[in-house]
C-alpha cells in the first residue's frame, strides 16, 4: 500500500498504487434540484453503448429515487454497512474534523474513518484491495424500483398530517429526491485497484477509467470493489464493462463538434438542464489547478456549492452534486459529507457570479473550458434569510478548448412575443 493524498478527505490515505495523475480530469456537476427523472440520460447512454445481447440489465447511467431506490438494489446501504463493520471492529468512530476555512486542500475538513481500501488492509489476513460485495443477479434487474416513493414523514397520531404544512423548507415532512449516477472516473479507482489482471487503466490525458476488454478475464473483482457499483459483468462476452465517458466525444471526434471536446451523451441529452461536464486541469501532484474561470472548478472549489458523492468511501470521485434543498440534513451529510449546509446556503442565495454560471448547464454540447461574465442591469431584489439579495441580468459566455466562444446565455430568459396576427396559429 502507498500513501496518497485525498483532498476530499483532507488527509493522506492508503491505496494499492502510488500517486500518478492525468493532465486533466473528467469531472461533472449535477444539480439534483432540477432533475425530473425523465430518464432521457439513461436512454441516451443505453441506446449508444449497452443495447446488445448480454447488456439487458446494464445501465451505465441510471437515475434512482432516494431514500429507497438503488441500482443495484441498496448498493449504498450495503457499502455503508461494510464500512461501519470495519470501523467498529477497529474501534474507530468515524467523524469529520473541521479544518481552517481557508484550507483549500481540505475544503470539507478531515475525515478520520476508514476508507474501503483501509478497511480491506485491516482484514486478517488481508485478501483484497477494497472491501465490497458482489450484487446478486436479481439486484441489477429493477433499476427503477421505488421510483417516486417518498420517505413518509411522521404525522401526529390520528391525523392525516395535513396541518403540518409538509412542503415547507428547509425539510419536507415527506421527501424523496432523484440521484443521477454514472461512473465517477475516480482519482483512486477501486475497480482498478482490485483487478488482478491489471486490465483497468486511467487515461493520462483525461483521467477516464477504462477496462481493456482484451485483458479482462471476467473475474469480477472490479464489480465487487467499486463502491458505486458502476463496473458490470456481461455474461455473453464473459468480461466486465463500464462507462467509457463517451471518450470519442471527449476527444473531439464527434462530427458535430468541429474537433472540440464534447460532453457525453447523458450530459448533452438532459432536458432538465441539471448537468455540466468538464475537464479540470491538474497540477503535477494531482491537486486541482486553481482555475476559477473553469465552471467546474468555480462551483466545486470556489463556491463549494457542489459536493462529492460518499467521499468517505475514499476513491475521490469526480462527480459532484448540488444537494436537494428539501431533504433531511443528516441524510444529505451522510451522502455528501459535511459541506451540505454551506452548499445549500450558497445555492439558496447564489452570488452574482454563481447565478450566471448556473445558466451554462446544458447550454451547449461543447465542453466549456472557461467562462466570462458581462454585467447587465439589476432586475430584481428581495430578502433571503433576512439579508438583501439582488438579481442581475448578466450574460455568461462559455469558451471551448481553443478559446472560441461556444455559448452565450443571459440570466433572465428572454421573452419573445408573437406578433398579433399569429398569436393563435402555428
Ligand atoms: S435527463 Fe436530466 S432531468 Fe432527465 S432524469 Fe436524467 S438527469 Fe434527470
Ligand atoms: S465509480 Fe467505480 S467503476 Fe468508476 S472509476 Fe470509480 S471505482 Fe471504478
- pLDDT digits over 308-321, tens only? 999 999 999 999 99
Taking the centre of ligand 1 as the mean of its atom positions, its distance from the CA of residue 343, in whole angstroms, is 21
pLDDT of amino acid 99: 83
For a pLDDT cut of 70, what percent of the chain falls above it? Answer: 96
Which string of b and e fits 27-57 if b means at least 16 CB within 10 Å? bbbbbbbbbebebbbbebbbebbbeeeebeb
User: Is 29 touching ligand 1 by the criterion CB < 6 Å?
Assistant: no
Nearest-ligand number for the alpha carbon of 178: 1
User: Is 274 touching ligand 1 by the criterion CB < 6 Å?
Assistant: yes
**pLDDT tens digits along 389-421:** 999 999 999 999 999 999 999 999 888 888 887
Confidence of residue 151 (pLDDT cuts 50, 70, 90): confident
Taking the centre of ligand 1 as the mean of its atom positions, its distance from the CA of residue 91, in whole angstroms, is 41
User: Is 365 touching ligand 1 by the criterion CB < 6 Å?
Assistant: no
3-state secondary structure of 119: helix
Cell matching residue 212: 481493456
pLDDT at residue 147 is higher than 70: yes
Identify the residue whose C-alpha is closest to ligand 2 atom 5.
185
User: Is 280 touching ligand 1 by the criterion CB < 6 Å?
Assistant: no
Nearest-ligand number for the alpha carbon of 231: 2
Taking the centre of ligand 1 as the mean of its atom positions, its distance from the CA of residue 121, in whole angstroms, is 38
For a pLDDT cut of 90, what percent of the chain falls above it? Answer: 87
pLDDT at residue 103 is higher than 60: yes
pLDDT at residue 278 is higher than 60: yes
pLDDT at residue 211 is higher than 90: yes
Closest approach atom of ligand 1 to CA 269: 1
User: Is 310 touching ligand 2 by the criterion CB < 6 Å?
Assistant: no
Nearest-ligand number for the alpha carbon of 211: 2
List, in order, residues 6 or more apart from 344 with CB less than 8 Å away: 170, 323, 325
pLDDT of amino acid 62: 98
Query: Which of 115, 65, 71 has its CA nearest to residue 90?
Result: 115
pLDDT of amino acid 122: 96
Identify the residue whose C-alpha is closest to ligand 1 atom 8.
35
Confidence of residue 158 (pLDDT cuts 50, 70, 90): low
What is the CB neighbour count within 10 angstroms for residue 425? 6
pLDDT of amino acid 172: 84
Closest approach atom of ligand 2 to CA 200: 8
pLDDT of amino acid 186: 98
User: Is 270 touching ligand 1 by the criterion CB < 6 Å?
Assistant: yes
Closest approach atom of ligand 2 to CA 209: 5
How far apart CA 60 and CA 57 sit, in angstroms, is 10
pLDDT at residue 156 is higher than 80: no
pLDDT of amino acid 159: 60
Mean pLDDT in residue range 367-383: 98
DSSP class of residue 262 equals B
List, in order, residues 6 or more apart from 209 with CB less than 8 Å away: 183, 185, 186, 189, 191, 192, 200, 201, 202, 203, 242
How far apart CA 189 and CA 213 sit, in angstroms, is 17
pLDDT at residue 87 is higher than 80: yes
Question: Residue 397 — φ and ψ, nearest 5°?
Answer: -120, 130
Identify the residue whose C-alpha is closest to ligand 2 atom 2.
226
Taking the centre of ligand 2 as the mean of its atom positions, its distance from the CA of residue 62, in whole angstroms, is 14
pLDDT of amino acid 213: 97
Q: What pairs with residue 89 in β-bridges?
A: none
Nearest-ligand number for the alpha carbon of 210: 2
Q: At what angle do helices 329-336 and 340-348 cross, to 10 degrees?
A: 110
Count Cβ atoms within 10 A of the Cβ of residue 423 and give its class: 0-12 exposed, 13-18 middle, 19 or more buried: exposed
pLDDT of amino acid 425: 64
pLDDT at residue 360 is higher than 60: yes
Report which of residues 310 and 171 the model is more confident about: 310
pLDDT of amino acid 250: 97
Give the largest CA-CA distance in the chain. Answer: 81
User: Is 185 touching ligand 2 by the criterion CB < 6 Å?
Assistant: yes
pLDDT of amino acid 63: 98
Query: Which of 193, 241, 244, 243 has its CA nearest to residue 216?
Result: 241
List, in order, residues 6 or more apart from 234 with CB less than 8 Å away: 54, 55, 58, 240, 241
Mean pLDDT in residue range 222-242: 98
pLDDT of amino acid 163: 53
**pLDDT tens digits along 212-221:** 999 999 999 9
Mean pLDDT in residue range 321-325: 98
Mean pLDDT in residue range 185-205: 98
Mean pLDDT in residue range 276-281: 98
pLDDT of amino acid 154: 64
**pLDDT tens digits along 39-54:** 999 999 999 999 999 9
User: Is 242 touching ligand 2 by the criterion CB < 6 Å?
Assistant: yes
Contact indicator for 18, 200 with CB cutoff of 8 Å: no
Contact indicator for 45, 241 with CB cutoff of 8 Å: no
pLDDT of amino acid 415: 85
Closest approach atom of ligand 1 to CA 42: 6
User: Is 179 touching ligand 2 by the criterion CB < 6 Å?
Assistant: no
Taking the centre of ligand 1 as the mean of its atom positions, its distance from the CA of residue 272, in whole angstroms, is 6
pLDDT at residue 162 is higher than 70: no
Closest approach atom of ligand 1 to CA 34: 3
Q: What is the pTM of this model?
A: 0.95
What is the CB neighbour count within 10 angstroms for residue 168? 10
- Mean pLDDT score across all residues of the chain: 94
DSSP class of residue 367 equals P
Amino acid at each position: 500500500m502507498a500513501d496518497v493524498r485525498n483532498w476530499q478527505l483532507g488527509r493522506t490515505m492508503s491505496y494499492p498504487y502510488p500517486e500518478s495523475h492525468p493532465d486533466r480530469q473528467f469531472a461533472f456537476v449535477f444539480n439534483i434540484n432540477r432533475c425530473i427523472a425523465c430518464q432521457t440520460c439513461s436512454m441516451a447512454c443505453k441506446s449508444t453503448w449497452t443495447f446488445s445481447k448480454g447488456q439487458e440489465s446494464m445501465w451505465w447511467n441510471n437515475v434512482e429515487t432516494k431514500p429507497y431506490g438503488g441500482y443495484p438494489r441498496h448498493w449504498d446501504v450495503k457499502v455503508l454497512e461494510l464500512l461501519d463493520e470495519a470501523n467498529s471492529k477497529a474501534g474507530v468512530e468515524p467523524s469529520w474534523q473541521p479544518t481552517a476555512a481557508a484550507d483549500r486542500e481540505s475544503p470539507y475538513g478531515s475525515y478520520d474513518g476508514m476508507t474501503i481500501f483501509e478497511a480491506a488492509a485491516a482484514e486478517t489476513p488481508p485478501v483484497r484491495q477494497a472491501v465490497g460485495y458482489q450484487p446478486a443477479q436479481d439486484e441489477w434487474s429493477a433499476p427503477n424500483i421505488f421510483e417516486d416513493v417518498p420517505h413518509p414523514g411522521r404525522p401526529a397520531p390520528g391525523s392525516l398530517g395535513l396541518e403540518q404544512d409538509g412542503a415547507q423548507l428547509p425539510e419536507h415532512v415527506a421527501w424523496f429526491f432523484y440521484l443521477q449516477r454514472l461512473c465517477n472516473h475516480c482519482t483512486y479507482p477501486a475497480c482498478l485497484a482490485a483487478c488482478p489482471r491489471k486490465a483497468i487503466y486511467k487515461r493520462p490525458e483525461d483521467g477516464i477509467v477504462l477496462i481493456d476488454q482484451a485483458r479482462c478475464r471476467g473475474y469480477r473483482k472490479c464489480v465487487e470493489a467499486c463502491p458505486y457499483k458502476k463496473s458490470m459483468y456481461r455474461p455473453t462476452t464473459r468480461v466486465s464493462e463500464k462507462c467509457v465517458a463517451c471518450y470519442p466525444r471527449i476527444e473531439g471526434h464527434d462530427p458535430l463538434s468541429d474537433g472540440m471536446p464534447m460532453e457525453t451523451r447523458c450530459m448533452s441529452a438532459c432536458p432538465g438542464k441539471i448537468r455540466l461536464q468538464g475537464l479540470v486541469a491538474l497540477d503535477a501532484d494531482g491537486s486541482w489547478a486553481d482555475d476559477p474561470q473553469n465552471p467546474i472548478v468555480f462551483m466545486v472549489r470556489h463556491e463549494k456549492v457542489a459536493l462529492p458523492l460518499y467521499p468517505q468511501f475514499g476513491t475521490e470521485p469526480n462527480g459532484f452534486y448540488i444537494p436537494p434543498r428539501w431533504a433531511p440534513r443528516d441524510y444529505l451529510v451522510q451522502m455528501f459529507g459535511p459541506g451540505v449546509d454551506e452548499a445549500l446556503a450558497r445555492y439558496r442565495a447564489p452570488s452574482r457570479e454563481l447565478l450566471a454560471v448556473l445558466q451554462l448547464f446544458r447550454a451547449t454540447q461543447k465542453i466549456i473550458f472557461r467562462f466570462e461574465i458581462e454585467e447587465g442591469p439589476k432586475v430584481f431584489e428581495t430578502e433571503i434569510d433576512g439579508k438583501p439579495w439582488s438579481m442581475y441580468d448578466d450574460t455568461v459566455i462559455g469558451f471551448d478548448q481553443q478559446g472560441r466562444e461556444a455559448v452565450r446565455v443571459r440570466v433572465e430568459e428572454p421573452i419573445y412575443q408573437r406578433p398579433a396576427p399569429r398569436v393563435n396559429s402555428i
